[in-house]
Structure 1
């Protein structure tokens, strides 16, 4: 193909790209965390969110059995394998995830009835950390998107309370406004400390926050 033909092909492809997609691509190309993730061998910039939260809250220290809900593409589990190389790690996601050394990955819906037993069975014992970076696919309606994602958070909290060993920890992505009153009360009733945080790696314009619950008291 001639140079002119190549230029036309590029222009044709760019015209098909939506304005929002173009903004996302530009942001990705100029994001220092994205560049650093490539340099450090991480599958996503989200790895730095967990690293930063771990530095602040000590989430990964001494962990031996970890569940990663919404594991794709695997950045969080990569961090766990580095900090806790002897830990058993089990992840689940609807999306395909490339194999990750030291991590058992299931392609299935966490909302399926069989998912909790599948995860705990593969782990070989109760987890001492449940991590959730799950978020529902957006439909463009702010309130609907918030409710759908918080529904996933509620399911993750229920799983954590049912499976965590005493003293275990829980972390989950929530949206602006944090955890709702009822869910926050539930967490405070089962964990020694519950806090919200927004790590520096979270984009300033993002509505995401994280809820960190430490010191599981055991089921009442």
Structure 2
């Protein structure tokens, strides 16, 4: 299972992280919009994706600021709202490809980041990145070893390979959230935080009940960088009781 970098409060000073476009002139925005010519043989869905990427302010901002994907801004906005990342903390990154969340964690002061993904991730200075399927038993043990101690923060941007069959895909989504939550409750130190991407119906009542029992606060939040049409939202569980 892989991170989906492109799909699709606070004890410290708050940072702003909105899109780079400024002003409210819709006509100017329309004039600046990049038009994508229709290529012969290109599927309509591919055409829509390309058009969206070329005109997405978060994609442009990621290029300008050196992040590997627009998904970096989801974590930035989550951190701005909930104060997730503190200097020197130990962070586990599940579904880490292409590496945007690891980049954000390190840039915002994390002392040690260990990530895992089924897709290979280009090296990031300061991070240990494992090329493994997190759903395989040996991956969790390898990630624990790479962490080198209890985690302060477990991040999960895991997303399943979809089949198009709603019932099957739903089961895969639920299973990933459960696997990530169990890992978090196994490795977090008291007071730690678990953040996971979920989709509509993506966390079972059993998982939510377990998290509410083991954490002081459990809530959902959809950051502005998460596309409106996307079914994703994020589960934030803070104050692990151990």
TM-score (norm 2): 0.82
1:143 Cα deviation from its structure 2 partner: 3.3
Q: Deviations over 1:87-122 (max 9, x none)?
A: 111000010111111110110110111112111111
1:178 Cα deviation from its structure 2 partner: 5.4
1:140 Cα deviation from its structure 2 partner: 1.7
**Correspondence for 1:14 among 39, 43, 58:** 39
Aligned counterparts of 1:28 and 1:138: Cα–Cα separation in 2: 21
Aligned counterparts of 2:93 and 2:57: Cα–Cα separation in 1: 25
Aligned counterparts of 1:155 and 1:215: Cα–Cα separation in 2: 19
Larger CA deviation: 209-218 vs 137-146: 137-146
Q: Deviations over 1:10-45 (max 9, x none)?
A: x9x922321111111111111111011111110000
For structure 1, the 5+ residue unaligned runs are 1-10
1:184 counterpart residue number: 208
Larger CA deviation: 115-124 vs 203-212: 115-124
Q: Deviations over 1:170-219 (max 9, x none)?
A: 0000002453221110100110100000000000000000000001101x
Q: Deviations over 1:124-160 (max 9, x none)?
A: 1111110000000122233322221221110000001
Aligned counterparts of 2:217 and 2:189: Cα–Cα separation in 1: 16
2:196 counterpart residue number: 172
Aligned counterparts of 1:29 and 1:111: Cα–Cα separation in 2: 33
Q: Deviations over 1:61-111 (max 9, x none)?
A: 2452110000000000100010015x1110000101111111101101101
Q: 1:37-76 counterparts in 2 under 5 A?
A: 37-62=62-87, 64-76=89-101
1:138 counterpart residue number: 162
1:201 counterpart residue number: 225
Q: Which runs of 4+ in 1 moved over 6 A?
A: none
Secondary structure of the residue aligned to 1:91 is strand
2:32 counterpart residue number: none
Larger CA deviation: 140-149 vs 18-27: 140-149
**Correspondence for 1:80 among 70, 94, 105:** 105
For structure 2, the 5+ residue unaligned runs are 1-36
Alignment size in residue pairs: 206
Measured on the aligned residues, the alpha-carbon RMSD in Å equals: 1.5
Contact 1:66/1:90 (CA < 8 Å) preserved in 2? yes
